[in-house]
Amino acid sequence: MPNERLRGAISARGLTTQRCAELIGVDPKTVERWITRDRVPHRAHRVAATDLLGVDETYLWPSVVDDLRVVSAGRAEMVEFYPSRSAVPLELWRSLIHQARESVDVLVYAGLFLPELHDITHLGERARQGCRVRVLLADPNGTGVRRRGEEEGFGIGLAHRVLLSLRYYEPILAIPGVQLRLHDTTLYASVFRVDETMLVNTHVYGSTAAHNPVLHLRRVPGGRVVDHYLTSFERVWAQAKPTTDIDAVIAAFDGR
């Protein structure tokens, strides 16, 4: 049976099988077999294809879920489980920032605890040393933060927490390598990624993030859990609004 999901994902990206093959680094006939014969690519090619198409590999090739090696690698990615964010050792948050070399990615609504816990200027220092820093905060004027605030019982208070976070990050926004964007997305988890390590703070309806469980993950070869959350981050990042003028954001909020 042909893999219509793969065919559709390639078409949705405006690509041909020829161009798709070139970008992935395989023969065009190989991509054709992936489609017409529903062949499952090798792990490296699956990763390249999903990165290119912006689609999770289990959507394109559902059978990989049953691959014992994938299951085993996914379990190996779990370093620790914390029943709540408040149970995560404070030193872990601090050490991750200090150890960052390549990438720091933050996806939250407000995430105010992070700048209150750790001097944000250290993120700027990491950026000056070549580390890419990307921060996604909720748009305080958006519907997403308003809905989440109502669910948590804080109402407009959550938007005010976003504004405070924005002020914390403001001093480092002019540093090359630091980017901040505002999203209006429903988050099912907050994501904190530093190089190969990730902390995923799950969201529970009606409960604040500090009281919800945290997964401490680290990427291992063959695993897909970290990549699964990174794909989610990239999707939110792609549709979020770049922001450098914090005063303008606050003025828009005050003028509602």
pLDDT at position 250? 87
pLDDT at position 62? 81
Q: Is domain 4-66 annotated with CATH 1.10.10.10?
A: no
pLDDT at position 177? 94
User: For the chain, where are the alpha helices, taking DSSP H only?
Assistant: 4-12, 17-24, 28-36, 43-53, 57-60, 68-76, 90-99, 113-117, 121-128, 143-152, 157-169, 225-239, 246-254
The size of the chain, in residues, is: 256
Asked if 207 and 220 touch (Cβ cutoff 8 Å), the reply is no
What parts of the chain have a pLDDT lower than 70? 65-74, 254-256
Asked if 81 and 215 touch (Cβ cutoff 8 Å), the reply is yes
pLDDT at position 67? 61
Q: Please, is 238 exposed, middle or buried when counting C-beta atoms within 10 Å of its C-beta (0-12, 13-18, 19+)?
A: exposed
pLDDT at position 6? 93
Closest by alpha carbon to 138, among 113, 159, 112, 114?
A: 159
Joined together, the tokens standing for residue 33 give 């077999």
pLDDT at position 105? 97
pLDDT at position 181? 97
C-alpha–C-alpha distance, residues 117 and 140, integer Å = 22
Q: Please, is 218 exposed, middle or buried when counting C-beta atoms within 10 Å of its C-beta (0-12, 13-18, 19+)?
A: middle
C-alpha–C-alpha distance, residues 245 and 240, integer Å = 15
pLDDT tens-digit readout, 127-180 = 999 999 999 999 999 999 999 999 888 888 999 999 999 999 999 999 999 999
pLDDT at position 103? 95
* Domain chopping of the chain, boundaries: 4-66, 74-254
Asked if 222 and 234 touch (Cβ cutoff 8 Å), the reply is no
Give the CATH H-level superfamily of domain 74-254. Answer: Endonuclease Chain A (3.30.870.10)
Q: 74-254: same fold as 4-66? A: no
Asked if 57 and 46 touch (Cβ cutoff 8 Å), the reply is yes
